[in-house]
Amino acid sequence: MSRLTHAFDHRPTFMPYYPLGFPTPAASVDVIEALAKNGADLIEVGLPFSDPLADGPVIQRATQIALQQGMTVARALPALRELRARGVTIPLILMGYYNPLLAYGPERLAREAAEAGADGFIVPDLPPEESAEFEAAVAPLPQIRMVAPTTPEERLGRVLSGAQGFVYLVSLTGVTGTRGALPEGLPEFLARVRAATRLPLCVGFGISTPEQALTVGRLADGVIVGSAVVRAIGESAAPAQTAAELARAFRAGLRG
């Protein structure tokens, strides 16, 4: 937990999402290394799944390509070890859907993920009410809790009870994807969650530009950017170079 805790020493943090295996397994490791060494404070490392219900078309396409490239949970863990061997020191949070993680075996996953250098999990289709067995199996690595604007007050306390690391705030209802404007009501949403927890609050879904990131970063402790990063890198002839440029741009944007 020390890497994860210290990632928030200087806020707001920049947390890009990127799926392993896209456009190729080797290229994705280069991209994540470039993001890590050019401005990212944490990285949400995607584990591809055939039915990514929380993701929009950009990430769906990228994860399908990653699956076609043969990326699996078993191949993802050596990729993490490679990133650590290359000197990546920031937290790497594995984002994956529950079925592949369950099929791999939560206890085995926890042991091998910790050995590979993972710092936690985000499992968007595993609600807190059903996650006790998984969380116990993967401890001490935390499962990051997610909160949506539609989360009612009485459920908010249950979601945040026992939460670790940080809280992932889904800024809007629907799937991931770039948006032209930030959702109304975001300041009120952040204030409501902040009143219920002392953990850092990171906002994701729909943040597309450094300017939007700056606006969110004035309210939140961290900013998560997925589709905009995946799209730009996916369209590039030099993915790692584009990743480095994006990380520097978002870092500069967050610093105002």
30, 33, 41, 55: the active-site residue = 55
The residue annotated as part of the active site, out of 44, 112, 119, 135, is: 44
Looking at residue 177, its pLDDT comes to: 42
Question: Which pLDDT does position 55 carry in this prediction?
Answer: 78
Q: Active-site residue 154, yes or no?
A: no
Per-residue pLDDT of the chain (256 residues; tens, 9 = 90+): 689 999 999 999 999 999 999 999 999 999 999 999 999 999 999 999 988 777 789 999 999 999 999 999 999 999 999 999 999 999 999 999 999 999 999 999 999 999 999 999 999 999 988 999 999 999 999 999 999 999 999 999 999 999 999 999 998 654 444 445 566 789 999 999 999 999 999 999 889 899 999 999 999 999 999 999 999 999 999 999 999 999 999 999 998 6
Domains of the chain listed by start with CATH number: 2-249 (3.20.20.70)
Residue 133 has a pLDDT of 95
* pTM for the predicted model, two decimal places: 0.93
pLDDT at residue 242, as a whole number:
98
Please report the pLDDT score of residue 105 as a whole number: 96
3-state secondary structure labels for all residues of the chain: CHHHHHCCCCCCEEEEEEECCCCCHHHHHHHHHHHHHCCCCCEEEECCCCCCCCCCHHHHHHHHHHHHCCCCHHHHHHHHHHHHHCCCCCCEEEECCHHHHHHHCHHHHHHHHHHHCCCEEECCCCCHHHCHHHHHHHCCCCECEEECCCCCHHHHHHHHCCCCCCEEEECCCCCCCCCCCCCCCHHHHHHHHHCCCCCCEEEECCCCCHHHHHHHHCCCCEEEECHHHHHHHHCCCCHHHHHHHHHHHHHHHHCC
> Is residue 44 flagged as an active site residue?
yes
